[in-house]
Chains A and B, each alone.
Chain A
Amino acid sequence: MSDITKQSLTELVENIKNKKLSSTDVTKAFIDRSEKSMELNAYITNDFTSALDKAKKFDQKPNLDLKLPGIPMAVKDLFCTKNIKTTAGSKILNNFVPTYESTVTENIWNEGAILLGKLNCDEFAMGSSNETSFFGNVQSPIDKNLVPGGSSGGSASAVAGQLTPVTIGTDTGGSIRQPASFTGIVGLKPTYGSCSRYGIVAFASSLDQAGPMAQNVKDCALLHEVISSYDPKDSTSIDFKRNHYSKELTNNIKGKKIGIPKEYRVDGMPKEIEDLWQKGIQYIKDCGAQIIDISLPNTSYALPTYYIVAPAEASSNLARYDGVKYGFRAKGENLIDMYEKTRSEGFGAEVQRRIMIGTYVLSSGYYDAYYLKAQKVRKLIKNDFDDAYKNVDAILTPSTPSSAFKIGEKTNDPVSMYLNDIFTVPVNLAGLPGISIPAGHDSKGYPLGLQIIGKAFDEQNILNIAYAMEEKINFKNKITDWWIK
C-alpha cells in the first residue's frame, strides 16, 4: 500500500474505477503519509476522521461515473469550506467556521472527491515564501529549511510531498506558479473569470484566480476541468464554452507559434535560468512548433503596477475585518479603539504593510498619481500581450528568476521578496492563463520551472504545449522523504 501515494491522480482514478483500489485504501494511504509529515507544517487543519468516514461511505455505494471518484484531497485554506475552519493563514480568522462552501470546492466534492484538510498559506495569500502565515513556515519536501514558495506554499509542499494527490491554490501575482516551480510540480493559473471566486477569501479581486496544482499536466487538466465553471454568484465569472481539458489533451503542437519575449531576460538573472529557457526553446522546436522572438516592452513596469493595484484592492477587501461580524476581536476602550487594536493585533506585519500601501495610494491627493497611473500602465501591459498574440499562439518564459531560497533569507527586504514574481505578475495584470511546469534542476538539485502563457480562455492550448514539453523534459522530482523519521 505504500506506493499508493506515489500514483498520479489519473492512475488513482483509474484504479478506483477498475476496483483495484477502494477509496478507503487511497484515503488511508494519504492520511497515513500526512500524519508522518507533520514536520512539513503543510496543514493548518486536518479533517482525517471525517475523510475516512466519507471514504467508507463512498465504497459502500461507489459512483464510478464521477471524475474524482472517492479521491481524497486537501485544499488551500483560502477556500471557505462549510463547517470546517477557514483561516486564510491569519490570526484574525483563526476561529472562523464558514456556513457556506466556495464554488470551486463544491465542484470538486460534487465530482466525488473527499476533503482531507486545509493547507497552509501566506496570510491572506500575501507572500512568496509561506513565511507570513500565522501558523508558521512550511518546509519544502525538496530540502530542509527551504521555502516551498508562496502563497500556496502548503499546497505545493503537500503535492510534491505526496500528502494529497492534487490540490487547488489561488494565484494573484504568481501564488500557484511560483510555488509549483520551487517544488517541481505543475501549477495552472486560469484566465480571469474561468473559476468562480465565490467563497474564496478575497485578496485583490481583479487579479485573484483559483487553479489546480498537480504532479503532472494530465492531472492538472483533469482538475481544471472540474473546477472551472460559470457561476452567477461571482459577477466576474465568465460564461464561455469550456473544454473537456483532460479528454482533449494532445501532445501534437506541430506548427504552433511560440513567442520568446526579450524583456524577460532581466539583469542579474542566473545563467542556470537562461540555460533552462534555452533548453525549453529546444524542446518546443523538437515538438515541431515554431519559435518567434517577440517584445513585451512594458514588462519592467508590471511589478510596480502590481504593488499599487493589489494593495489598493486588498486595503478595500480587508476593511471587513473589524472584530464585529466574525473573526478575532481585541478589547478596546471604545468602538474605534476596538477596531484599531483588533486590526493591529489580528493582522501580521506583511498584511499591515500592504493595507498601509493600499490606503495611501487610494487616499485623497494621491489617487491620481498612483492608482489611476497604475490602471493606465496596466492597460499598456495588456496591450503588449494583445499585440504579441497577433503573431504567436503562446509565450514561453522562465517561471521564476531563481530557484527556491532558504527560510529567513529574504524576510527583511520586502522588495527583494516581491522580485520573485517578476515573470508571473504580468499574466495576472493582463488576466491571462499561465502554467508552470518543472523543467530541470539547478546546481543544488532544486527544481526550476518554465511558464507557458496563453491567450485568454486558451487553457487547452497551453495545457497541450505543457503536455508535449513534459514528455520531452522527462523531469524526475528528487524527493528524499528527509522529514520522515
Chain B
Amino acid sequence: MSIDLKTIKHISKLARISVDEQRAEKLAGDLNSIFDFIEKLNELKTDNVEPLTSIAETTLKLRSDEVKSKNIREQIIKNSPQDNEDYFVVPKVIE
C-alpha cells in the first residue's frame, strides 16, 4: 500500500491541519513507513473474533440528571482566545 500526496491532502483536510507541499511529502514518507509496519496485522485471521471496544468490563453507571456545575460561565469563557461578553468570537461565517 502506498499513501500518495493526494491522500495526504485529503486526510489533512479531514483533520483540519493545513499542510504545505514540503510537509506533505515528509508526511507521506513517514506514514508509508508506519503503515508498512502496521500491515503486519494482515497475517492474522480475525474473522470470528469479537472486537474489543472497552477494556473495563463494567456497564456504565447511571446517575440522576442533575446540574452540578452552576454559574460557571466566567470559568468557561476565561481561556478563550477572543470573546465578547458571554460569547466566543470566531471569524465571520455568514457574509
User: Which residues of A are in contact with B by a Cβ distance under 8 Å?
Assistant: 95-97, 99-100, 192-193, 206, 232, 235-236, 238-239, 298, 300-301, 303-305, 307-308, 315, 319, 322-329, 332-341, 343-344, 347, 352-353, 355-357, 359-360, 363, 370, 372-380, 382, 413-415, 418, 430-431
From the candidates A335, A344, A375, name the one contacting B53 in the complex (CB within 8 A): A375
Contacting pair B27 A340 (CB below 8 A): no
Asked if A335 contacts B63 (CB within 8 A), the reply is no
Q: Give chain A nearest CB distance to B30 CB in angstroms.
A: 6
Q: Top 6 A-B pairs ranked by shortest CB distance?
A: A375-B51, A326-B79, A431-B55, A329-B81, A340-B18, A99-B75
Q: CB distance B41 to A335 under 8 Å?
A: no
Residues on the A chain within 8 Å of B90, using CB: 324, 335, 338
Smallest CB–CB gap between B29 and chain A, Å? 10
Please, how many angstroms separate the alpha-carbon atoms of A136 and B52 in the complex? 37
The smallest C-beta distance from B94 to any residue of chain A, in angstroms, reads 10
User: Which residues between 1 and 36 of chain B lie within 8 Å of chain A, taking CB atoms?
Assistant: 3, 7-8, 11-12, 14-19, 27, 30-31, 33-34
CA–CA, A319 and B8, complex, Å = 18
Check B46–A359 contact: CB distance below 8 A: no
Instruction: Knowing A327-B81, A414-B34 are in contact, say whether A305-B41 is a contact too (CB < 8 A).
Output: yes
Task: List residues of chain B with CB under 8 Å of any chain A CB.
Answer: 3, 7-8, 11-12, 14-19, 27, 30-31, 33-34, 37-44, 46, 49-56, 58, 60-61, 63, 72, 75-76, 78-82, 88, 90-93
By beta carbon, the residue of chain A nearest B74 is A99
Q: Which one, A303, A328, A335, A360, contacts B81 given CB within 8 A?
A: A328
Given A232-B61, A341-B18, the answer on whether A304 and B52 have CB atoms closer than 8 Å is no
Choice from A344, A376, A377 contacting B17 with Cβ under 8 Å: A344
Shortest Cβ gap from B39 to chain A (Å) = 8
Name the prevailing secondary structure of the A interface residues. helix
Contacts of A418 in B (CB 8 A): 34, 37
Residues of B within 8 A of A336 (CB): 16
A179 to B50, CA, bound (A): 34
Within the assembled complex, what's the spacing in Å between the Cα atoms of A343 and B7? 19
Contacts of A341 in B (CB 8 A): 18
Q: Are B34 and A357 within 8 A (Cβ)? A: yes
CB contact under 8 A between A301 and B44, given known A232-B61, A334-B91: yes
Interface of chain B: mostly helix, strand, loop or mixed:
loop
Assess A339 versus B11: contact at CB under 8 Å? Given A373-B41, A379-B51, A380-B44. no
Smallest CB–CB gap between B83 and chain A, Å? 10
A-B pair count, CB < 8 Å, reads 159
List of A residues within 8 angstroms of B12 by Cβ = 356
Given contacts A325-B79, A327-B81, A414-B34, contact A355 B17 (CB under 8 A): yes
| Chain B residues, CB < 8 A from A328 | 81
A residues less than 8 Å from B7 (CB atoms): 360
Contact between B38 and A308, CB atoms less than 8 A apart = yes
**In the assembly, what is the distance between CA of A307 and CA of B34, in Å?**
8
Q: Give B26's nearest chain A residue, CB to CB.
A: A349
Chain A residue, CB-CB nearest to B49: A376
Question: What is the bound-complex CA distance between A344 and B33, given in angstroms?
Answer: 22
Max count, chain A CB within 10 A of own CB: residue among B12, B15, B44 = B15
A413 CA to B33 CA in the complex, in Å? 9
Docked pose: A374 CA to B33 CA in angstroms: 18
Docked Cα-Cα span, A257 to B86, in Å, equals 61
The answer for the CA separation of A335 and B90 in the assembled complex, in Å, is 7
List of A residues within 8 angstroms of B27 by Cβ? 352-353, 356
Point out the residues of chain B lying under 8 angstroms from A373, CB to CB. Answer: 41-42, 46
CB-based contact B75/A363 at 8 Å: no
Q: What distance in Å separates the Cβ of B58 from its nearest Cβ neighbour in chain A? A: 6
Q: Is the CB of A415 within 8 A of B91?
A: no
Among B40, B63, B75, the most chain A Cβ lie within 10 Å of the Cβ of B40
A377 and B45 alpha carbons, distance in the complex (Å): 9
Taking a contact as CB atoms under 8 Å apart, the answer to whether A304 and B41 are in contact is yes
Residues of A close to B8: CB separation below 8 A:
356
Residue pairs across A and B with Cβ atoms less than 8 A apart, 10 shown, are A97-B78, A236-B54, A325-B80, A325-B88, A339-B16, A340-B18, A344-B17, A377-B44, A379-B52, A430-B55
Q: Let me know if A238 and B56 touch, CB within 8 A.
A: yes
Q: Is A378 in contact with B52, judged by CB distance below 8 angstroms?
A: yes
Least Cβ–Cβ distance between B63 and chain A, in angstroms: 7
Instruction: Please give, as numbers and ranges, the residues of chain B lying within 8 Å of A99 by CB-CB distance.
Output: 72, 75-76, 78-79
CA A327 – CA B31 in complex, angstroms?
28
Task: Point out which of A327, A373, A380 has the most chain B C-beta atoms below 10 A from its C-beta.
Answer: A373
**Among candidates A96, A304, A340, A431, residue contacting B40 with C-beta atoms closer than 8 Å:** A304
A307 CB contacts on chain B under 8 angstroms:
34, 37-38
In the bound complex, CA of A309 to CA of B3 (Å) = 19
Please pick, from B11, B39, B40, B81, the residue contacting A356 in the complex, using a CB distance under 8 A: B11
